[in-house]
Structure 1
Amino acid sequence: MKLPIRKSRGRGYTLVELTLAMSVGIMISAIVMTLMRQQLNFLRIFRAQSFLVTEAPMLNNFVVKIIGNADSFRLYASVDDLVAGRAQVMTNAPVIMLRFKEPNGTFRASVLSFENPGTGTGLYYRMVNTAGTLGTAQWSLSKRPSNVRFAIENGILRMVVSGPNGEEVTYSGAVQL
């Protein structure tokens, strides 16, 4: 007696089904990778522009107020040159001393300087006390700029602020007195 041969279908997937499933998986992963790359590019651009969007307007507000109220200003090549009483410069100066006339006729002074006073490089504000000595850096206006330079061009004060990603913002304002 001959037993009938039973065809049994295996419980696995066919080659076509596996190929189709892998193709769908590869397409989905390609889409996810493209979206991820696009998101990373967006974040890189956002970080690069954050200096221009957040720090630059804040610096503008402060600089307009303080320099606009100054009666006179002088530029120096360094804080040491200012303290030593060396001659002022006209271009490429990281330090500006501002003088303000008080209602009683006396003057007070303050200094904006791009330097590293031991707490990191940045744009710092200092007061000159009544004895005429320069105080310590009281606060940092911003530590994000990579460079800040003051210059007097045709009697107009210019402040060029270089951002951390190479962007440059130029502020022009007060007439030299």
Structure 2
Amino acid sequence: MFKKILVTILLMGLFVFFQVSVLSNVFELKTIPNLVLITLVYFSFSKGSWVGQISGFIIGILLDVISLAPLGYYAILLTLTGYIAGIFSKLMNSDKLLFPMITIFISSNLFLLLGNVILIVFRFDNVLSWPNNLYYWKVIGLNTILAPILFVIFSFIDKKVLPERQSL
């Protein structure tokens, strides 16, 4: 269990660094995909909600510290997303295209809407975006397009680094 959580946290930490330092400076679109969310959803589905919750919370705290978000914002958001994705871990199938796209489409919507609700409840004025905003759909579109590619990469990493134990 510890190895699963550690590998997930390391991958998500790598994507946090990549998103913050590389993607935010490369893309001229002002919209970057949420690679941390895609990683969290994959490992929550494949390893269960416990791995998703712990990994989401730890990376959420890291994001809270390096961003201007209120302390605990990303921790709550990623913990809940990891938990909800982990609940449906039995639904994971071998479809390489549609399953990742549908899963990330739903998870991205959940992430953005839940994030807005948290900001409204705590009376912050800078609500991210609602479905009537172009930014909202650009983020979801990028996440959905990248999901199948990243799911295949994570599946390979999952099989090589975290093989299932054989029982007698």
Q: Does the TM-score normalized on the shorter chain lie above 0.5?
A: no
If you compute each CA radius of gyration, which structure gives the higher value, 1 or 2? 1
Q: Which has the higher strand share?
A: 1
- Larger RCO, structure (CA 8 Å, separation 6 or more): 2
Q: Which has the higher helix share?
A: 2
> Which category of TM-score, normalised to the shorter sequence, fits these structures?
under 0.3
